[in-house]
Amino acid sequence: MRLLVTGGAGYIGSVTTAVLLAAGHDVTVLDDLSTGHRDAVPPGAGFVEGDVADAGLVLAAERHDGVLHFAARSLVADSVADPAEYWHVNVGGTLALLDAVRKHDVPRFVFSSTAAVYGEPATTPIPETAETRPTNPYGASKLAVDHLLTSYANAYGLAAVSLRYFNVAGAYAGLGERHVRETHLIPIVLQVAEGVREHIQVNGTDWPTHDGTCVRDYLHIADLARAHVLALDAAAPGRHEICNLGNGVGFSVLEVVETARLVTGHPIPAVEAPRRPGDPAVLVASADRARNLLGWKPEHPDLARIIADAWALTAP
Ligand SMILES: NC(=O)c1ccc[n+]([C@@H]2O[C@H](COP(=O)([O-])OP(=O)(O)OC[C@H]3O[C@@H](n4cnc5c(N)ncnc54)[C@H](O)[C@@H]3O)[C@@H](O)[C@H]2O)c1
Ligand SMILES: O=c1ccn([C@@H]2O[C@H](COP(=O)(O)OP(=O)(O)O[C@H]3O[C@H](CO)[C@@H](O)[C@H](O)[C@H]3O)[C@@H](O)[C@H]2O)c(=O)[nH]1
């Protein structure tokens, strides 16, 4: 297929681009490089520097079979402090992109949704049928797009798939997390191991979890990327499919730090810090739907392996 990948210079978009190319697809990346890197775009993909709202220029030039939409603002705490950009980019930008998709008759649309749409879940692991009550504007903006896609599939026949990622980590094909301002747990923990930071701050030790720290479901980037290739095949006209992507096992912040100590052989000092605004206590996926609909199964569920792959790329 000929595909447009928005956000393909970012962490998840670049790895997925590499996997799509390996699967034989043609890929053009559209990215404004606001948080991504030009050199992360895999060789073999076309590159256009621009905003998602400029997608019409790319889609007008050539017929495309699908769009994979990764470009977004995606930091929970930032979205609480300054929500405007989250609504503008994540909802306004996506709406402009979908206008271009309709105008140029692009049949398939795969969207990076998130576990953050669920908020504090009533049950764990979380199925797609769980109530959606996001605890931060980031999750709310992604949920708004999920609703948008349902209506576009129903009314305009779009073949849409929302993939609700839980916490993506690790590295693949020489590509890993490389944010200028890093906020994600595993890359920060590895920066401590590397000696770039003195310690890891544990954001809250009084959460209602077994050790008082937040629990997340960490998924290998290679497994996540593969789900996108499967989603393109599963997409059906007039349907909006929603699938969680996670391993179904949760690890606390302290368990992640301890695993990273074992993997790296470094002490990784941890200090207690206040809770981070917008954080839910526990997010663990039920990914049964992805298994059944996409035929997807994680191949690298081991947390130590996920951390080791990231460490292999960053280790001094
Ligand atoms: N990292 C995770 O654990 C996680 C979990 C759930 C969902 N997601 C979603 O996955 C997607 C990718 O996340 P990531 O971690 O790779 O983030 P990232 O910041 O590394 O990548 C985002 C990319 O989009 C580009 N971009 C941002 N705004 C743009 C715009 N208006 N026009 C064009 N390009 C733009 C950035 O330059 C960057 O290259 C996001 O939609 C995010 O919400 C991530
Ligand atoms: O220095 C740090 C960094 C993080 N954390 C905690 O570690 C957990 C995981 O945090 P992080 O790695 O920042 O991921 P999340 O905030 O869970 O968000 C990620 O995972 C979500 C899905 O669960 C996605 O929607 C988001 O885009 C993605 O950033 C949270 O409890 C954080 O408060 C710390 O304690 N110290």
Q: Which tokens go with 292?
A: 């059944």
Tens of pLDDT, residues 251-285: 999 999 999 999 999 999 999 999 998 899 999 99
Specify the pLDDT at position 316: 67
pLDDT at 210: 97
Which residues does the annotation mark as catalytic?
138
Q: What atom of ligand 1 comes closest to residue 8's alpha carbon?
A: 39
Residue of 11, 76, 181 to test ligand 2 pocket, by largest number of atoms within 8 Å of CB? 76
Q: Which residues line ligand 1 (CB under 6 A)?
A: 6-7, 9-13, 31-36, 51-52, 70-72, 74, 89, 93, 112, 114, 165, 167-168
Burial 137-164 (b: 16+ CB within 10 A, else e): bbbbbbbbbbebbbebbeeeebbbbbbb
Q: What is the pLDDT of residue 278?
A: 85
Low pLDDT (below 50) residues in the chain: none
For position 276, what pLDDT does the model report? 92
Query: How big is the CA angle at 98 (ends 114 and 155), to the nearest 5 degrees?
Result: 95
